[in-house]
Amino acid sequence: MFRKILIANRGEIAVRIIRACRELGIKSVVVFSDVDRNSLHVRLADEAYPIGPAPSRESYLCLDKLMTVAKRAGCDALHPGYGFLAENPALPRACTDTSLTFIGPSAEAMEALGSKTAGRSLARGVDVPIVPGTNDPIENLEEARALAQRMGYPVLLKAVAGGGGKGMRLVSADAEFESAFRDASSEAMNAFGNASVFLEKYLEKPRHIEIQILADAHGRVVSLGERECSVQRRHQKVIEEAPSPIMTPELRKRMGDAAVRIARAGGYVNAGTVEFLVDTHYDYYFLEVNTRLQVEHPVTEQVTGLDLVKLQIAIAAGHRLPFAWESITPRGHAMEVRLYAEDPENNFFPSPGKILSRRAPSGPGIRLDEGVYSGWTVPMDYDPLLAKLIAWGNSREETIARLRRALEEYTVTGIKTNTALFRRILAEPDFLRSEIHTKWLDEMLKRPHAAPDTDSHAADAAAIAAALWQVTHDSAPTSERTEQDSRWKLDGRNRQLDRMP
């Protein structure tokens, strides 16, 4: 096992990895930029080293500086977290050159799976359905336009190196194609240093369902089941849950098989996620592979009882996965909300600043993966994620009730946070019935928002109490639905969606 791990990240994910290291008896080393001198990850790590000024290009993204710290501190492995350099093949290569073990896939596997077009070709090669579109970056605008006409609008232009919804443009008509192409390319260039874009048919109202996989270096690849991330604002995940309310054991098996085939074909080792879109007919389409730990990994941890970060470390140290896929069945239900320093009343504008006070929620079924503390100043230089609040329970209903209760307990003063958004979503009838899709939240936010009335709260409470009664009298250990239940639900969803503006 490793003795000392360098964590090439900051915020809640650095804290999460420090905690795993401590439980494993491994020393943790972190780096920090000038504005992160007093950050929680610096306070909790065994050792911390300055790495430069606030802009990430001059600090967290500097390979040379990271390697210098690793050597100086005597680290034997590096964990990239998510974001920053986590999906850049230059990082595992630099680790190899520095005799550090990279806790993640090889540079080759990242290249084979990390770019969206490479991933599509690979998925097609192992008979996994992909969203119709181009398999290579667009080089000839007229050819791409002709394909868009043949597929029919709307279509989506997407950055090959994309992430976080950047470099993506929806094109609804032929006349918009050229300017959308230019916008997508230049946004992709700015965000990823790579202007390549490709074309996909735009699926109407799909659900985003992804499969968590783990692969060891001895040929065992397992699926840990799905997470549903359909609550998105502008193509960015806002709430994630496991299991997906529309999942059936059969569909889980088929999607898990598909994800495992893709991971095998790409020579993947360590934790990764294969993302899919699922349409209203339960047909799934490969979207992309994230060759790293996901922000939303805790919901999988809560329903499987596994610690994904410790497993990542064990896999990188050459250990065999100690379980087979067949032994993993999700138990209960888990849901995560991403708490941001941002102002929902002002178009979700970031709200950095000093946290004057903060009260953390706790109690049954609550987990808070946090990167902040009272008295700390949230810098304006990075993604303003404060914490991930995760609830779990016997059923989806109990989980939602716990999440609502925990959101009421969580108070932060001094900065604005998006907690009000979650209170609203968690009271929406469509959400409670899971009659949602990836555009649902954007549509909901356009509707006028009436202040919640006490009667509907009382009705919700009664519904939840009834659901809880059912759960306690149901011996099944999981909130998974049967094929028949799900079909019924999906039909209900379609009726509901038809009424939407």
Binding site for ligand ADP (CB under 6 A): 131, 156, 162-166, 168, 200, 202-203, 206, 208, 232, 235, 275, 277, 287-288, 438
Minimum CB distance to ligand ADP, residue 182 (Å): 18
Query: Quick check: is 292 catalytic?
Result: yes
Sheet containing 284-290: which strands, arranged edge to edge? 284-290, 270-278, 207-215, 221-233, 236-242, 333-340, 385-393, 366-370
The token pair that represents 273 in the structure block = 């996620």
Minimum CB distance to ligand ADP, residue 75 (Å): 30
3-state SS, residue 213: strand
Residues 118-130, buried b or exposed e (16+ Cβ, 10 A)?
bbbebbeebebeb
Q: Report d(CA 308, CA 68) in Å as an integer.
A: 28
Our CB check for ligand ADP shows the closer of 131 and 378 to be: 131
Spatial CA neighbour of 382 closest among 17, 62, 65, 10? 10
Q: In this structure, are residues 291 and 113 in contact, taking their beta carbons and an 8 Å threshold?
A: yes
Q: Report d(CA 242, CA 260) in Å as an integer.
A: 19
Q: Report d(CA 164, CA 186) in Å as an integer.
A: 16
The token pair that represents 205 in the structure block = 């109202």
Shortest-Cβ-distance residue relative to ligand ADP: 438
Distance of CA 102 to the CA centre of its chain: 21
Q: Rounded to 5 degrees, what are φ and ψ at 194?
A: -145, 115
Cβ count near 252 (within 10 Å) = 20
Q: Report d(CA 304, CA 478) in Å as an integer.
A: 11
Minimum CB distance to ligand ADP, residue 288 (Å): 5
Our CB check for ligand ADP shows the closer of 285 and 392 to be: 285
Residues 14-34, buried b or exposed e (16+ Cβ, 10 A)?
bbbbbbbbeebebbbbbbbbe
Our CB check for ligand ADP shows the closer of 132 and 379 to be: 132
Our CB check for ligand ADP shows the closer of 12 and 187 to be: 187
Q: Report d(CA 217, CA 232) in Å as an integer.
A: 34
Minimum CB distance to ligand ADP, residue 67 (Å): 28
User: 101-102 and 77-79: which strand pairing?
Assistant: parallel
Q: In this structure, are residues 352 and 380 in contact, taking their beta carbons and an 8 Å threshold?
A: yes
Alpha-carbon distance values, 303 to 162, 176, 247, 323, 330 (Å): 29, 44, 14, 16, 5
From the list 16, 120, 261, 292, the catalytic residue is 292
Residues 218-244, buried b or exposed e (16+ Cβ, 10 A)?
eeebbbbbbbbbbbbbebebbbbbbbb
Minimum CB distance to ligand ADP, residue 341 (Å): 21
Minimum CB distance to ligand ADP, residue 156 (Å): 5
Our CB check for ligand ADP shows the closer of 156 and 260 to be: 156
**Alpha helices (runs of H) in 49-156, residue ranges in sequence order:** 63-73, 90-97, 107-114, 116-125, 141-151
The conformation of residue 133, written as its DSSP 8-state character, comes to: B
Minimum CB distance to ligand ADP, residue 393 (Å): 26
Spatial CA neighbour of 184 closest among 248, 131, 119, 116? 116
Minimum CB distance to ligand ADP, residue 323 (Å): 28
The conformation of residue 204, written as its DSSP 8-state character, comes to: S
Our CB check for ligand ADP shows the closer of 206 and 393 to be: 206
Our CB check for ligand ADP shows the closer of 162 and 298 to be: 162
Minimum CB distance to ligand ADP, residue 31 (Å): 26
Our CB check for ligand ADP shows the closer of 186 and 362 to be: 186
Our CB check for ligand ADP shows the closer of 116 and 261 to be: 116
Q: Report d(CA 205, CA 435) in Å as an integer.
A: 11
Our CB check for ligand ADP shows the closer of 33 and 230 to be: 230
Minimum CB distance to ligand ADP, residue 234 (Å): 9
- The residues annotated with a catalytic role in the active site are 292
